[in-house]
């Protein structure tokens, strides 16, 4: 009885299980490291053109939420 979701091909960054779980828990240092390394990974693998709009939207939303606090 789950939702019928369309398959969306979003850009990914490979992570170990521990880092993946820390990211879901909002662990600051893990998220900061991911933000630093994700664009470099996407550029190296030729995915940057596709990933850039998602990354910029994420960073804009993050900045907006930080200013609200």
pLDDT, residue 1, reads 54
CB 46 within 8 A of CB 22: no
What is the distance between the alpha carbons of residues 2 and 41, in angstroms, rounded to a whole number?
33
Percent of the chain with pLDDT strictly greater than 70: 88
DSSP 66: H
What is the distance between the alpha carbons of residues 46 and 44, in angstroms, rounded to a whole number?
6
pLDDT, residue 39, reads 96
Please tell me the pTM assigned to this model.
0.77
Residue 11: CB atoms within 10 Å? 17
All structural domains of the chain with their residue ranges? 17-68
- List the structure tokens of 64: 């907006």
User: Model confidence over 2-60: pLDDT tens digits?
Assistant: 666 676 677 889 999 999 999 999 999 999 999 999 999 999 999 999 999 999 999 99
């Amino acid at each position: 009885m789950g939702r019928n979701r369309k398959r969306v091909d979003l850009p990914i960054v490979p992570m170990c299980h521990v880092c993946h779980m820390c990211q879901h828990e909002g662990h600051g240092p893990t998220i900061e490291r991911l933000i630093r390394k994700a664009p470099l990974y996407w550029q190296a693998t030729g995915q940057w053109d596709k990933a850039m709009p998602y990354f910029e939207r994420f960073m804009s939303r993050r900045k907006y939420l930080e200013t609200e606090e």
